[in-house]
Structure 1
Amino acid sequence: MSDRLTELEPDETGPKEDRHFVTALARGLAVLAAFGRDRRMLANHEIAEACGLPRSTVSRLTHTLTTLGYLHYVEETGRYRLGSALIALSSVALGGLDVRRIARPALRAVAQAANASVGLGVRDRLSMRYVDCQRGPAAISLNLDTGSRISLARSAMGRAYIAVCSERERAQIYDELCALDPLAWPALRDGLDRAVAEHREIGCCTSFGEWQDTVSAIAVGFHPGGGLPPMSVNCGAPTVITDGRFLMEVARPKLIEAVRGLEGVMGA
């Protein structure tokens, strides 16, 4: 299964038979999602390629988003960057995640003890989005930070989310993954089912070289409460400095204990 696990085309984000699904809105949001840490400025043709949309459609969408302040057109380069209206939205969204502030000391302690990167993540379609990240003292660490996006199906963080989400949400995720790549789905389904059982039996999910060949990671999912969706915390590092055995024997107990303290922390 390709990188499209984390890049759904707009028409694929909702079932065609769902009469409540607004395709135009989904396409506009997909345009915004095309930007990232390594794609801070994009031209219409680059956005069209990333979203799988006609350039004429993208031109109308970028014009609308620019008018509303969600995009800013840079005349010198002929490209767009995210606009100031999104800053206000993101500030409100992150401000509502008080769990980040509460979790930070525990995440930092695990990162120091395991000499690894520890991240707090939420689901973003078929990806996991980092909302906080703490690093240990190692000179080499994962190139991930707040806002980074990783695979939902192949990363330890994503698998831990799937392990603790509701049966209904899990079935929806499985349907979307199956539709994305029917041929690869049976093997991927087996791996996800094992991850759910793994989380139940040993308290965490693992991904040793499955998301990236050079990365080992474990993760634990939890329910913060307070109306927030499930979240998960991972602990990982490049395999050159940390292997799976160290993570399981040393980091796992500390990570499980830290996440246990976050369960229901935001209240009813």
Structure 2
Amino acid sequence: MRRREEALVADDPMADEEKDPRFVTALARGLELLRAFRRNESMLGNLELAQRTGLPKPTVSRLTYTLAKLGYLAYDQGTGKYRLGTSVLALGYASLSGMGIRQVARPLMQDLADQTGLAVALGGRDRLSMIYLECCKGTGPITLSLDVGSHIKLSTTGMGRAYLAALPEAERAPLMAKLEEHEGDRWPAIQDGILQAIEDYRTRGFCRSIGAWKSEVHAIGVPFVPRDGSQVLAFNCGGPAFLVDLKRLEEEFAPRLVAMVRRIDATLFNG
């Protein structure tokens, strides 16, 4: 696996797929280049992109030129660097707007955020992380600095653990193997947390992350398994540890989150 600065999405599908005759490596490299850009970053040059992707600089130069021609990158003459273009934005909005669950979930998420004073989010898996697809924040004095597009860890967060807990064993096992490879010496403790989350989901309907992702963050998670067979998603509810009463989080807020997810499911699939 190539070394990258961003650890959250470290899984590298190209490592396995490049031997597949149906796999278009040039296309994959172009998409990997776009993934190198992160939130709150304005521009990157070819050298930085080469370092982040592990691709040769001449290859990067050809890819950035092509992507700029297509509108997926925009070239800045003053700095000689690139930023994401409007075509990427169009793809992102098309993807989000096509997810009917966001329109149904958002008002319910905001109600729960207002009731609890915490943040409530919806996310899906992006390699070895979860990416926020929707986020609502309560009226508390301090909230987490996460929003749509933010990545959080798959293996240690309430949202990530809920996602893993809902997967069939045949899908979860290879993903756990990738997590083990990525986490290294940390894996035994992380695995214990995931296994406990699977049991919590089976017996209580939700998963917990009490300081497991970051010591200052407490959260609960509930998966959303669409009846139409589309991708598993997950919701979370959490906030700064010093503001979160653990008893209320588990005994009051968790049942509300579970009920919210059930209501979303009923609205989407029962009409």
Normalising by structure 1, report the TM-score: 0.90
Taking the aligned partners of 1:239 and 1:263, their CA distance within structure 2 comes to 30
49-58 or 100-109: bigger deviation? 49-58
51-60 or 122-131: bigger deviation? 51-60
1:43–1:102 distance in 2 versus 1, CA, 3 Å = same
Taking the aligned partners of 1:75 and 1:227, their CA distance within structure 2 comes to 47
The aligned amino acid for 2:7 is R
Offset at residue 227 of structure 1 (A): 4.9
Cα deviations across residues 184-226 of structure 1 (Å, max 9, x unaligned)? Answer: 4343333222211111111111111111121111110012344
8 Å contact from structure 1 (residues 224, 265) kept in 2: no
66-75 or 53-62: bigger deviation? 53-62
- 1:66 corresponds to which residue? 68
Match of 1:260 among 255, 258, 262: 262
Aligned positions of 1:232-243 closer than 5 A: 232-243=234-245
8 Å contact from structure 1 (residues 114, 250) kept in 2: no
Offset at residue 42 of structure 1 (A): 1.4
Cα deviations across residues 10-48 of structure 1 (Å, max 9, x unaligned)? Answer: 644x35654444433332222111222222321222222
Taking the aligned partners of 2:96 and 2:237, their CA distance within structure 1 comes to 21
Match of 2:87 among 85, 88, 106: 85
More helix by share: 2
Q: Which runs of 5+ in 2 are unaligned?
A: none
Match of 1:6 among 6, 9, 16: 9
- 2:43 corresponds to which residue? 41
Taking the aligned partners of 1:22 and 1:200, their CA distance within structure 2 comes to 40
Match of 2:226 among 224, 232, 236: 224
Match of 2:165 among 163, 180, 187: 163
Aligned residues: percent identity?
Answer: 42
Taking the aligned partners of 2:263 and 2:106, their CA distance within structure 1 comes to 12
The aligned amino acid for 1:61 is L
- 2:211 corresponds to which residue? 209
1:170–1:264 distance in 2 versus 1, CA, 3 Å = farther
8 Å contact from structure 1 (residues 161, 230) kept in 2: yes
- 2:98 corresponds to which residue? 96
Offset at residue 116 of structure 1 (A): 0.2
8 Å contact from structure 1 (residues 5, 180) kept in 2: no
Q: Which runs of 5+ in 1 are unaligned?
A: none
8 Å contact from structure 1 (residues 217, 244) kept in 2: no
Aligned residues: 266
8 Å contact from structure 1 (residues 9, 52) kept in 2: no
Taking the aligned partners of 2:38 and 2:69, their CA distance within structure 1 comes to 21
1:195–1:40 distance in 2 versus 1, CA, 3 Å = farther
Offset at residue 165 of structure 1 (A): 2.2
Offset at residue 240 of structure 1 (A): 2.2
56-65 or 97-106: bigger deviation? 56-65
1:265–1:166 distance in 2 versus 1, CA, 3 Å = farther
Cα deviations across residues 134-186 of structure 1 (Å, max 9, x unaligned)? Answer: 11101210001111111111111111111112323212312322333444434
8 Å contact from structure 1 (residues 160, 221) kept in 2: yes
Alpha carbon RMSD of aligned pairs, Å?
2.2
Normalising by structure 2, report the TM-score: 0.89
